Amino acid sequence: MITAEELLERILILTTVNSTLIHALITIEAEGGLESKQIDQLASGVRAVRESVKRTLGNSGNNSATSGSSFVDDTIKVILTHLKRIETALDSYSKSREQVVLKEDLKEPLLTTQQLITEASADLAGLTGKPFQRRLSIFDPEKQLPLLQQLLDKYSSRSHLLLPNYWFESCRELFRYSEPREVISEVTHIAGQVFYNLIRRFLAEAPCAGLLQELSRRGTLGNDLTSREQNQIAGTASEFYDQLANALQKNSVKASISEAKRGLRAFDWGPADVEKRVVGVIHRSARELVDQATDSKTLSDSERIIHAELSRYLCALTTNLHNLPRFNQLLTDMKI
């Protein structure tokens, strides 16, 4: 007979499997090293695991130790649902992996990894009535920057990397700080996801992917940042942490969100001759951060403040971008 403790252990194992599969999705997105046939095999494996779990838990469903526990039943359903979503995402990735950077009208090629993580956390939070503390993500300070570097390396042979490198350095600068100590892990965790998604949109999604590839063929402007450009980023990161420390001290989520919304309204779109669609990708990421800070039911107050302050950071970095001659020229050259 299965005991409640044994069932809890199985649930934790399933959660780990769920997290590991999300890890696999992120790795596939970053490295692009698997062929469609291999992705199909992985999806088949996920499907087999899901069916096996359903059978195993179904056979133990009448045990007195677990019967009548709606929380256990609902938790298992959530985990199985997200295994199914991962399976679907793998299938979608297999079908669309060759089209992501080719179809100019392709808006959202597949359900993103972050959407999987967010939806899983939200569903589990709905069961417990409080945020789900176990992170369903591989993002941590030791892995995030190498993951971003892998993403850049993947596209280095066909895409101009000056703009993506600007945002990579903007992320890396945040990782050089150790204060405020009580939230630094949350800052790097959230920032790593934000900048990964932002850089991926530049490199792998229309219209930016095609524009950066065309710029690469022209071979102008170079890919590496100058010391002046890096210093500009460093100064903006320092201001971000000063603002964050002040916001955390006040502990007013409403005030932080209000400041972030003000920053969005004053967002710097640059001169008339720059490619506004590229700048719009940055605006989209900044707006999503504000939306998450405003609407999320699973974030703590400090995490909501961090989201709002990161939105302000993106806006400030965008203004810097327009004030740097090479980047202003790059955005102008990208306009077709």
Interior angle at CA 228, CA 224 and CA 231, nearest 5 = 100
- Give the whole-number percent of the chain exceeding pLDDT 70: 57
Q: Tell me the mean pLDDT in the region 299-322.
A: 96
- The predicted pLDDT at position 108 comes to 37
What percent of the chain clears pLDDT 90, i.e. is strictly above it? 46
How confident is the model over 42-50, as a mean pLDDT?
A: 66
Mark out the alpha helices in 251-300 (DSSP H runs): 253-265, 276-295
Reported as a pLDDT band with limits 50, 70 and 90, residue 182 is confident
What does each C-alpha distance from 51 to 81, 138, 196, 270, 271 come to in angstroms?
12, 25, 33, 53, 56
**CA nearest neighbour of 22 among 71, 72, 99, 93:** 93
Dihedral sign for Cα atoms in the order 22, 28, 30, 36:
negative
pLDDT category, 245, cuts 50, 70, 90?
A: very high
Residue in 182, 170, 147 with CA at minimum distance from that of residue 238: 170
Q: At residue 97, does pLDDT exceed 80?
A: no
Please enumerate in sequence order all residues whose Cβ is within 8 A of that of 261, keeping only pairs 6 or more positions apart, or say none: 290
**DSSP run (H or E) holding 98:** none
Higher-pLDDT residue of 124, 296? 296
Alpha carbon distance 177, 236 (integer Å): 13
Mean of pLDDT values over 149-165: 93
C-alpha 124/C-alpha 190 separation (Å) is: 19
Long-range own/partner contacts, residues 35-40 (CB < 8 A, 24 or more apart): 36/94, 36/95, 36/97, 36/98, 39/90, 39/93, 39/94, 39/97, 40/90, 40/91, 40/94
pLDDT-derived band of residue 282, with 50, 70 and 90 as boundaries?
very high
Residue 209, burial from CB neighbour count under 10 angstroms (0-12, 13-18, 19+): buried
* Tokens, residue 262: 């003000």
* Per-residue confidence band for 131, with pLDDT thresholds at 50, 70 and 90: very low
- Token look-up 């080719």 returns 102
Task: Report the amino acid identity of residue 11.
Answer: I
Q: Comparing 29 with 306, which gets the higher pLDDT?
A: 306
Position 144 pLDDT exceeds 90? no
* pLDDT given for residue 77 in this prediction: 67
Specify the pLDDT at position 111. 41
Query: Taking phi first (over 0 means left), then psi (-120 to 50 degrees means alpha), and beta for anything else, what does residue 129 get?
Result: left
- Comparing C-alpha atoms, which of 109, 69, 91, 70 is closest to residue 201? 109
Which contacts qualify for 119-122: CB closer than 8 Å, 24 or more apart? 119/82, 119/85, 120/18, 120/78, 120/82, 120/85, 121/298, 122/297, 122/298
- Phi/psi for 233 (5° steps) reads -65, -45
Are the beta carbons of 177 and 236 closer than 8 angstroms? no
Q: Coil, strand or helix: which one is 312? A: helix
Q: How far is CA 287 from CA 174, 181, 223, in A?
A: 20, 27, 27
> Cα separation of 125 and 71, whole Å?
12
